[in-house]
Every structure is written in C-alpha cells, then in structure tokens.
Structure 1
C-alpha cells in the first residue's frame, strides 16, 4: 500500500486531536487544577508535547491556567458547550427550579450568568408568561459593564479592582457608562447596596435588576437578574423584585458548585 503525503498529514492531525482529547479528559479529574509535569506523566506524553497541547486548548477556551499556582484546569468553553447540549435536551439542573419559582413570583424572565474573564456567560434563562420576553440564550456571552448581572459579577469578583480598571467600556447604547470614574462609582454602589440596575444601558428599551449569588468567601459564583422592556417596567418596579431575587440567590448559593 502506497502512502500519500495527504494520508500522513491526516493521520498526524488525528493523532494530535486524540492526544488533546486525552489531556482534556484528564483535566476533568482535577477540579482544583494539576501541574504540567503531573499531567504529562498521567497522559504518557513528553512535557513539551503536553505544554503545546495545553497551549492550543487554552487558546480555544477549553483549558485555563492559574499564573500563581501554575496549575491547569478545564476552561469555561466546555461549560458553554455543555450548556447548549443541556438546554437542547431539556436537562433541568439544580438552578432551574429556583429560577422557575422566581419567574412565577415576578411574572418576568429570570436569567443567570457566570463570570469568564472580561465577559459573562449566560447559563440559564426561564421565560415568563408575557408575550414580549428578554432572552439570555445559555452558552452565549455578554458584556459586564452595562448589564445588571455583569455589574454584580464585577462588584463581587475577587479581582474587582483589576476589572474596574481594565474592562473595555464600549458604548453599546446611549445610556451605557463609558467613563472609568463613573463606572468605578457604579460598582462601589452595587457592592454597597447588594444589587445592580441596568437602565437601558445594554440595549435601548431594556431594563434589568440583578443580584450576586455569593459563595462562603463573599465572592460571586453567579448572578441572577430579572429583565423587562422599559415601557412595561420602571426602575422602582424592578427594585421591588430585589427581596425575591436575594432569596433565590441565597438558595442557589447553598447548592451551586464552587
């Protein structure tokens, strides 16, 4: 059998894909992260090969590294993909019953997101009974500086100050906060009062109120929000939902994985 250059190249690509998937699977066994040498030993690959594979996985968001500990762990890209599959197949996680109960109280959509770098990733969305709905498709990303959940995620992030100083403050709507000083004041207010308002800052005609879901260390592990069209809901009416949002956040803080 004669081997053609294309055949050899295809086999090499398939081999590297297989190796990358093995590294990815092994990372799943280390929820708190693993060092490069240990991962290479488990995979049975040279350290240089493992490092190269991890670099490719990090570029695509499938892996992440902690500069301080120099340990590697799974990235949120896998979570995004898993959420898309979960949403498509109708799997109901521990959060969905809480979000559904909240929507029953408010009559408006309930959204949930987590922090990933300089963006938020929507993980759940429960629609209300109204004809016009605000949607947050699971797996999609959104900005932090101009959304209620994003502000909460920043205000209660362990690296809050760095985020305040480095986030891009793109003007996505006429009322978006684009001043660094004003954004810093806004985040301080959110942290002080424990909730955030986005008043037509992400999209014209859309208002939302959000609260953080806090872990034992006081850092946000997620955020919840109730969103509605501005013509239907005033800021004061949204703020009236804060007690219900906080109660849902407390319940989720007890059951969500850290």
Structure 2
C-alpha cells in the first residue's frame, strides 16, 4: 500500500503525526522510516521524532530493529483483528501456553511502551492459589523481573534517559540507588534472565527471560510467576531453565517468521 499525503508544504505537525499513524491502520502494513519521510515530505530528524512519539505511546512498534514499523502492542486486539500472524504477541502466544501447561503456573509475555511494560499475552494458572495477571499488566520499568529484562536490554543511551524518570516511580516515592540497579541489570544481561521476589506483590516470585529479533533487538520478555511457597530454590532452578528455553523458542520463531516474509517478498 502506498502512503498518501497531501499539502505537505503547510502540514501542521499534529496532523502529520496522526496521518503517519493512520498509514499503519491497514492489515499487514509495515513502513520504513525512509518511506514515511519520502511520502510525507519530512526531514530525517523530524521523521524519527514523529515515529518516537508514536512508539513511546504504543501506537507503533519496531518490527525488526532495522527501522521498520507496524501497529503497536497497545492495540493488540486491533492488530489481531487484522489477522496479522507476525506480531510479537502472535509469535509468543503458543510458547506462553506451552510453558503454562508444563509448569502449571501463570505465564505472560510483555512488551515495552515508553517507560512502562505492557502484558500482551497471558495465561493464568488453574491452581486455587495462583498469581493474577492484573497487577502486572502495566508496570514501571524497574519493578519485577519482566520489567527489569526490558530495562536491562535498552540501549545504554536510552537507559540513561529513562532512569531519572523512574526514580520517582517507586512505591511511596522513595528514591532508589541507580548504581545498585545498574549492577542488577548488568547481572541480568550476563546470566540471560531475571528473578523477582515480592517486588510487585508480596509473596510472589517470578522468572523472566528475553526474546530477540534476528537483528538483536528485544521482542519482549516471557515470565513465569507463582506464589513464593511453590517456587522455592530447587523448583526455581527448573523454572529458570524452562523460561530461558521458552524465550529461545520465541526468538527462533521470530527468525523463521522473518525468513518467510523475506522469501515471500
């Protein structure tokens, strides 16, 4: 589909941003920053600024880390209604269900929108005592294992921009130690997973691992969450192996999806 723009010489920025977003509201629409700049008559810097505004609000998302964009995960229901099988949520969903079935615990997949992490796929445990997904549907980037995975794999410059804003987001408004947080993020990158113990809800432990596009950019994080009494150290070790394996499968599926799309182009 060609992107249409009229009267670009006297085009107010707000209207331009809206029309750029509307160009994505078509089943399967994927546009590059270069194509948008060309069709809307915007400079490179303005184009990336507009796209960043849309991306921070979840209206679009990075497809492959190579400057291509589609509708964002904030509109998962809309994206699914377009029957696009290559969204991050669609790629992750079968592995969320597989891990939930194998573990018997609550499993979810999250993506980042601006300074928060949004749950896009979730399956709650069927056990009487279980972790509800509701408290972790929309959390700041420094609370919980899933959010910390997203924060850990931000580009260093982006992480430096985000951290000062997160300091006031801790419950009770108490400041936290940014150096300690950076050390924990470095550990997450080194070991390839994150563990949280009661950071969002008391008595809940969780394990999260990152999934990646072939380009190396983050697709999202898959998380297993359970009451702490069921996720003691021995069981926790097994949970880590399962979550890391599920994340790897999502990464592999993303690679296969991208290969199919490239072959069909």
Instruction: Report TM bin, short chain.
Output: 0.5 to 0.7
1:11 counterpart residue number: none
2:101 counterpart residue number: 104
1:38 counterpart residue number: 38
| Cα distance in 2 between the residues matched to 1:129 and 1:191 | 32
The correspondence of residues 150-169 of structure 1 with structure 2, limited to 5 A, is 150-157=147-154, 159-160=155-156, 162-163=158-159, 166-167=162-163, 168-169=166-167
Checking the alignment, whether the CA contact within 8 Å between 2:194 and 2:209 is kept in structure 1 is yes
Distance 1:74-1:27 versus aligned 2 partners, 3 A rule = farther
Checking the alignment, whether the CA contact within 8 Å between 1:113 and 1:223 is kept in structure 2 is yes
Secondary structure in 1 matching 2:229: coil
Structure 1 residue 216 displacement after superposition: 3.0
Structure of larger gyration radius: 1
2:240 counterpart residue number: 242
* Pairwise CA RMSD: 4.2
Distance 1:26-1:149 versus aligned 2 partners, 3 A rule = same
Distance 1:25-1:165 versus aligned 2 partners, 3 A rule = closer
| Cα distance in 1 between the residues matched to 2:22 and 2:238 | 50
Structure 1 residue 140 displacement after superposition: 4.2
2:142 counterpart residue number: 145
Checking the alignment, whether the CA contact within 8 Å between 1:209 and 1:239 is kept in structure 2 is no
In the alignment of these two chains, the number of paired residues is: 224
| Cα distance in 2 between the residues matched to 1:180 and 1:162 | 15
Gaps of 5+ in 1: 1-14
- The one-character-per-residue Cα deviations of 1:99-152 (angstroms, maximum 9, x if unpaired) are 222112211111111122322121111122212332336x94322211111111
From 219, 222, 231, the equivalent of 2:229 is 231
Distance 1:160-1:113 versus aligned 2 partners, 3 A rule = farther
Secondary structure in 2 matching 1:153: helix
After TM superposition, the structure 1 stretch with the greater mean CA deviation from structure 2, 24-33 or 188-197, is 24-33
Distance 1:193-1:33 versus aligned 2 partners, 3 A rule = same
Check if 1:130 corresponds to 2:124.
no
Distance 1:150-1:20 versus aligned 2 partners, 3 A rule = closer
1:171 counterpart residue number: 170
From 67, 78, 83, the equivalent of 2:77 is 83
Q: TM-score, normalised by structure 2?
A: 0.66
| Cα distance in 2 between the residues matched to 1:247 and 1:221 | 15
Structure 1 residue 199 displacement after superposition: 0.9
Distance 1:26-1:230 versus aligned 2 partners, 3 A rule = closer
- The one-character-per-residue Cα deviations of 1:197-254 (angstroms, maximum 9, x if unpaired) are 1111122222111111123344421111110122332355323211111221111112
Q: Which has the higher helix share?
A: 2
| Cα distance in 1 between the residues matched to 2:39 and 2:27 | 8
